[in-house]
A and B are shown apart, each in its own frame.
Chain A
Amino acid sequence: MSGGRTESASRTLRDLVHEASVLVSVGSGGVGKTTTAALLGLEAALAGRRVLVMTVDPARRLANSLGLDEMKDEVQQIDLAHLDPAPGGELHATMLDMKEAFDAIVTRHAKDEATRDAILGNRFYRFFSTSLAGAQELSASERLYEVVASGEWDLVVLDTPPTANALDFLEAPLRFFDALDSAAFQWAIQAGQLAARGGVGLLHFGTHLVTRTLGRFTGEEFFAELSSFLGHFSSLFDGFRERTRATSELLTSPTTRFVIVTSPDPLTVEEALYFRERLAEHRVHLAAVVVNRVRPFLQRNALVRDEPTALVDALHAIEGAAMIGRPLLERLARAIVRNAREIDVLAARDRGVVADLVERTAPAPVCTAPLYAHDVHTLDGLDRMRKDLFDADPTPATPKAARG
């Protein structure tokens, strides 16, 4: 891998962060999506843009590293004044409360107060509004549309919900509507009423057979109650549908860019590559792949390759080391080399994985952030990480990490 290519790669991510109006951070669980979203926002703010980072993760550490006590629903401005150089832009953060966001959707689209109250008060809704297939993703994309439409921000960075499948964010709202297409929906509502009455009535015999069997399957009471809930819910649909179309346009617009976040774990990388393919199918634009927690590579280090005597000599030459005594220095040298080799097994793997990723995701850039010895707890720490992400060679030869 040439240094030139990797340099232009990180410049490209930087360019996109400076140009895009929406950035969406997606990836498997536990790969650092939220932190990456914060880093993208910070970079844009330092470049003079007015940025909002929307997260779904209430993690206190991220809040702390942004100088906040906690992530809140309302928008909070991050104090960047002491960063060097002081930024020309602004960074704001907000946490998306899924339950409230979904309630807001219902409230917005309900045709009257009675419908709204019937839905918000329904026992199915109360439990499932945050778990209904696609509901979280629907809330997140609706809220995204709203803040973008407000025109208040140069850039909105969205950290997607922690789903097993990053694509749920794109696909779940579509699935939600597909599954509830009006024919199936109307059928279910009628069938439910029928099951509740226990009569054949309006529907022909085939449907009657189906509802009787389903009633047996789910319990008739459940089926009837669910149908009544869906009946109220269906009245929201015209509003939903229109908004989903608008959101979908926003997500596929060229000024909206997706960032796939991954760890260097080979299985997680396979998932990232799978996400990339599927994102392309959805015609969304990829900004970059970010690999977090990449370990430093040491193999070129002569002191690891050679006999440990070279390292003992080097240690011995440190001022004051003579006092420690040669036998102890020898033991220390062996421990240092063993450690370096162990870490290097992982580093070599990470390096291979990243090189492979660079090839397979071209022309989209691959950017890496190293594994740090410490958790990032402060804005300064976050800013160091930002520099590593935007400036570093994707496969670091030296462990910046240790001094991070």
Chain B
Amino acid sequence: MRNLLDMRFLLFTGKGGVGKTTLAAATAVAFARQGKRVLVMELNVRDRLGALFGTEPVGREIVSIAPNIWAVNTTPRDAMREYAMMVLPLRSLYRPVFENRMVEKFLRVIPGLPELVMLGKAYWHEKERDDTGRHVWDAVIIDAPATGHGFFLLQIPQVITRALGSGRMAEEAGRMLELLIDPKRTMINLVTLPEEMPVNETLELARRLREEFDIAPGVIFANGVFPRPMTVEEQRHLDSLTTIRPPAEDDLGVLLDVARFRLERCALQQRYLERLQREHEAPVLSIPFYFQPALDRTAIEKIATHITQGVERLRRES
């Protein structure tokens, strides 16, 4: 069984709104607690990491957002410049070539190029070494786009490699592909909610990963799982009371409704958790729902503990 916290290159994808950034952030905290240096990358989005960690919004420069954790919200333009600087024989060529109005427009419409260069930047950071030859980052975590676009991001290196065969970009894409499918370094993790639509999308994505890349998803994070509000015995008595008492809008009726609402939501979530576990072999890690107005640093720390313990449990079970 592969261990999430032994990986060097981690991607988080899943349906929109399921908590990809939350899980990417909490995983970063779990790494950082082991004394590892982590880089979390957002790909050209409205920043959410700053709000989660209580720092200034994360922008185009790599900034420290917590002990051992750095973050960047990269853009295709910046990634392109960094990539070009590495590839070009003379750095002085960059401005006349890449800041040429025609070229800028042209590069913007090359299908997949923005995704390729952003992925290329992540790939480059995974390899990056300091003067003493040590890795600069122990782990690079990518908060990837939602399912459809996220899968497109993964496909890009493969498509470029197949379509081109030769040339500098094809070689780079080939190396990125090697990293993406390397089970020793890379884990593609899927985040979902235990609800119908997100679970369907997750299962579909897991199937495509297997069929198109021959890789298994890393960890499936089932986020926002409601803790049971009462014991089974208490629930049985509640059921009998609500059966006897006709529905009413009075204070008691409302409270009973809310209790039943929670229990029914829990039961619904359990059904989808079971379906996730039944329908594919990747380990499923349940992340509890936190009853607080907004997720903050404290919640992220709690989720990180949950991840560390969950990973340890998965290791023992295997």
List chain A residues, Cβ under 8 A from B170: 219, 222
List chain B residues, Cβ under 8 A from A133: 108-109, 111, 114
Asked if B93 and A213 make an inter-chain contact with CB atoms under 8 angstroms apart, the answer reads: yes
Of all chain B residues, the one with the shortest Cβ separation from A35 is B197
A49 CA / B291 CA spacing, docked (Å): 43
Asked if B51 and A267 make an inter-chain contact with CB atoms under 8 angstroms apart, the answer reads: yes
Of all chain A residues, the one with the shortest Cβ separation from B260 is A402
Asked if B101 and A315 make an inter-chain contact with CB atoms under 8 angstroms apart, the answer reads: no
Given known pairs A162-B16, A328-B237, the reply for A402 and B164 (CB within 8 Å) is no
Asked if A304 and B166 make an inter-chain contact with CB atoms under 8 angstroms apart, the answer reads: no
Render A262-275 as a binary contact track against B, CB cut-off 8 A, 1 for contact: 01011110110010
B194 CB to closest chain A CB (Å) equals 12
Residue from the list A206, A263, A332 in contact with B230, Cβ < 8 A:
A332
Asked if A61 and B196 make an inter-chain contact with CB atoms under 8 angstroms apart, the answer reads: yes
- Judged by a CB distance under 8 angstroms, whether A164 is at the interface is yes
A159 CA / B197 CA spacing, docked (Å): 16
A163 CA / B146 CA spacing, docked (Å): 8
A283 CB to closest chain B CB (Å) equals 23
Given known pairs A124-B163, A133-B111, A206-B96, the reply for A187 and B102 (CB within 8 Å) is yes
A209 CA / B268 CA spacing, docked (Å): 62
**B: number of interface residues (CB 8 Å):** 79
Interface of B (DSSP majority class)? helix
Asked if A265 and B17 make an inter-chain contact with CB atoms under 8 angstroms apart, the answer reads: yes
Asked if B146 and A162 make an inter-chain contact with CB atoms under 8 angstroms apart, the answer reads: yes
Asked if B260 and A373 make an inter-chain contact with CB atoms under 8 angstroms apart, the answer reads: yes
Stretch among A24-32, A77-85, A379-387 lining the B interface = A24-32
Given known pairs A265-B17, A302-B251, A375-B196, the reply for A336 and B168 (CB within 8 Å) is no
Asked if B167 and A339 make an inter-chain contact with CB atoms under 8 angstroms apart, the answer reads: no
Asked if B145 and A164 make an inter-chain contact with CB atoms under 8 angstroms apart, the answer reads: yes
Of all chain A residues, the one with the shortest Cβ separation from B18 is A30
Of all chain B residues, the one with the shortest Cβ separation from A306 is B251
B103 CB to closest chain A CB (Å) equals 6
Render B293-306 as a binary contact track against A, CB cut-off 8 A, 1 for contact: 11000000000000
Of all chain A residues, the one with the shortest Cβ separation from B268 is A374
Asked if A339 and B268 make an inter-chain contact with CB atoms under 8 angstroms apart, the answer reads: no
A324 CA / B16 CA spacing, docked (Å): 45
Asked if B294 and A373 make an inter-chain contact with CB atoms under 8 angstroms apart, the answer reads: no
- Judged by a CB distance under 8 angstroms, whether B254 is at the interface is yes
List chain A residues, Cβ under 8 A from B168: 216-219
Asked if B163 and A30 make an inter-chain contact with CB atoms under 8 angstroms apart, the answer reads: no
Given known pairs A184-B101, A375-B268, the reply for A226 and B254 (CB within 8 Å) is no
A271 CA / B16 CA spacing, docked (Å): 13
A266 CA / B88 CA spacing, docked (Å): 44
Given known pairs A29-B17, A164-B149, A303-B255, the reply for A332 and B234 (CB within 8 Å) is yes
- Judged by a CB distance under 8 angstroms, whether A301 is at the interface is yes
- Judged by a CB distance under 8 angstroms, whether A174 is at the interface is no
- Judged by a CB distance under 8 angstroms, whether A109 is at the interface is no
- Judged by a CB distance under 8 angstroms, whether A282 is at the interface is no
A315 CA / B250 CA spacing, docked (Å): 13
Asked if A219 and B100 make an inter-chain contact with CB atoms under 8 angstroms apart, the answer reads: no
Asked if B195 and A210 make an inter-chain contact with CB atoms under 8 angstroms apart, the answer reads: no
Which chain A residues (169-203) contact chain B, with CB distance < 8 Å?
175-176, 178-181, 183-184, 187-188
Q: Which residues of B contact A (CB under 8 A)?
A: 15-18, 45-46, 48, 51, 84, 87-89, 93, 96-97, 100-103, 105-106, 108-114, 145-146, 148-149, 152, 159-160, 163-170, 195-198, 200, 229-231, 233-234, 237-238, 240-241, 244-245, 247, 249, 251-252, 254-262, 264-265, 268, 291-294
For the complex with contacts A263-B17, A346-B293, 8 further pairs of A-B residues with Cβ separation under 8 Å are A30-B15, A209-B96, A213-B93, A214-B103, A267-B294, A302-B251, A335-B259, A336-B238
Counting from the closest, the 5 A-B pairs by CB-CB distance are A29-B16, A219-B167, A30-B17, A402-B257, A335-B230
